[in-house]
Structure 1
Amino acid sequence: MFNLNDSMRYLLYNRPTDMRKSFHTLSGVITDAMGQDPCNGNVYIFINRARNRIKLLHWEPGGMVLYSKLLEAGTLGKPDSANDNEVCTNIEWRELVMIVEGIMEDRDSRRTRLENLKKLRK
Structure 2
Amino acid sequence: MLSPTAWWIAIEPVDLRCGMDRLLATIAIQFGHDGAAGGAYVFRNRSGTRIKVVCADGSGVWMCVRRLREGRFVWPRSSDRVCEIDAQSFAWLCTGVDWHRLCARPLVGALV
- The TM-score range, normalised by the shorter chain, is 0.7 to 0.9
The equivalences for 1:32-111 within 5 A come to 32-78=29-75, 82-104=76-98
Normalising by structure 2, what TM-score? 0.81
Aligned partner of 2:102 in structure 1 is none
20, 24, 34: which one aligns with 1:23: 20
Structure of higher CA gyration radius? 1
Q: Which amino acid aligns with 1:41?
A: G
Higher share in helix: 1
Calculate percent identity across the aligned residue pairs: 21
Between Structure 1 and Structure 2, how many residues are aligned?
Answer: 99
Q: Which runs of 4+ in 1 moved over 6 A?
A: none
Q: Secondary structure in 2 aligned to 1:77?
A: coil
Unaligned runs of 5+ residues in structure 1 are 106-122
* In 2, Cα distance between equivalents of 1:46 and 1:71: 14
Partners of 1:9 and 1:43 within 8 A in 2: yes
Unaligned runs of 5+ residues in structure 2 are 100-112
Q: Secondary structure in 1 aligned to 2:31?
A: coil
